[in-house]
Amino acid sequence: MFGIYNCESNLRFELKKSYNIFEDWYKKFPDIKSLFIDWIPKSNNKTYHLQATIVDKYVKRKIPIVIFDRYLSMTKKEYEWLRKFNNVFLFEPALHNRFGFRYLPQWTKILKYEDLGKNKKYEWDLGYIGDLTDKYVSFKKYYKEIAEFQSTLNVCYSSDISSSKSKELRYAKLKKIENANWYNIRCAVAIDTNKHYAIGYLDEWVFKAMEKGCFVMMPYEHKYFGNMFNRLVVKDMDDIGALCIQGLSGNLNQVIIEEIYNNIERLYPEFTINYTLEIIKECIK
């Protein structure tokens, strides 16, 4: 029996093809042969405490345990304790970061043109959904400027920010919206923090946006993923404007997104869900 905790549905579906899966941890702690955990940050108290209990129970049984630290949230104390056990395999989605962790990107399912929907009517030409902590400089460069100078484009964002910044963006003709959905946004720019640019961390929202039919442009600062987003690397508002306007015609969004997925298959296979499956199987064999 293979135990999983906090496992994404797409990976769970694939694992079930090869293993008898157990995941109902609120009822019992059965005899399992191996374990996969998508690491939960300490701030999530209830689920984190259950995670700690699971790890404590099984790490001493010397079964293979694969831990994927999706948000780079594992503390130094947690790491120092886990590294004592030869049966624990640690992974993180950052190319150049912590000693003791192997690189495993946040996996994605490869989608084709027909998976992405046709003849969609988008409410927004350019948008961003998510946290802006430590990203505001990039946000101003890639969103605020184009909203100010490209009056033909509808630009939105959905994020909790200070009232002063919210006022600044409102004057720049950036619309703040609640309960935003990538399905309604034509394109986005994969802005991030300077740290994430430096260590090669590509945020999972990039793939969630593309799954909804929103094509993503890659900022020049995200130096490790330019070939994945071939012809979609942007340096300034002129690059963004040209690509946004180009995407206004027909089903070009779907064509562009399919090309990104083709690049992943050819040049970045480590981002595919099949690669993740092989890594897990290698660790628990």
Secondary structure (DSSP) of 13-31:
HHHTTTS-EE--TTT----
Average pLDDT over residues 76-105: 95
Q: Give the containing element (helix H, strand E) for 12.
A: helix 9-15
The closest of 222, 203, 201 to 94, measured between CA atoms, is 201
Task: Specify whether 121 is located in the same domain as 242.
Answer: yes
**Same domain, yes or no: 213 and 274:** no
Q: What is the pLDDT of residue 219?
A: 97
pLDDT at 248: 62
| 263 and 274 co-located in one domain | no
Domain that residue 137 falls in: 113-267
Q: Structural domain tally of the chain? A: 2
In this structure, the answer to whether residues 145 and 256 fall within a common structural domain is: yes
> Which residues, at least 6 apart from 60, have a Cβ–Cβ distance to it below 8 Å?
none
Does residue 160 carry a pLDDT above 80? yes
**Mean pLDDT for all residues in the chain:** 93
**8 A C-beta contact, residue 29 and residue 51:** no
Say yes or no: 74 and 210 in one domain: no
Residue 279 maps to which CATH number? Answer: 3.40.50
Residue 285's pLDDT is: 87
Q: 199-234: per-residue pLDDT in tens?
A: 999 999 999 999 999 999 999 999 999 999 998 999
Do 68 and 151 share a domain, yes or no?
Answer: no
Do 133 and 90 share a structural domain?
A: no
* pLDDT computed for residue 205 by the predictor: 96
88 and 60 Cβ atoms separated by less than 8 Å: no
Q: What pLDDT was estimated at residue 29?
A: 93
Q: Are 120 and 252 in contact (CB under 8 A)?
A: no
Same domain, 27 and 124: no
Residue 18 vs residues 1, 21, 277: alpha-carbon distances, Å: 11, 9, 10
CATH for 152: 3.40.50.2000
For the chain, give the percent of residues with pLDDT over 90: 78
Q: Taking residues 105-126, what's their average pLDDT?
A: 88
**Co-location of 187 and 58 in the same domain:** no
4-48 pLDDT per residue, tens: 999 999 999 999 999 999 999 988 899 999 999 999 998 877 899
What pLDDT does 192 receive? 97
Do 23 and 151 fall within a single domain?
no
Residue 99 confidence (pLDDT): 93
270 exposure class (CB count in 10 Å sphere: 0-12, 13-18, 19+)? middle
At 176-201, the pLDDT tens digits run 999 899 999 999 999 999 999 999 99
Sign of torsion over alpha carbons 94, 99, 103, 107: negative
Residue 119: its pLDDT value, please? 66
pLDDT confidence of residue 204 = 95
Do 143 and 230 reside in the same domain of the chain?
Answer: yes
Of 57-71, 131-145, 165-179, 264-278, the range with the lowest mean pLDDT is 165-179
Q: Are residues 144 and 124 in the same domain?
A: yes
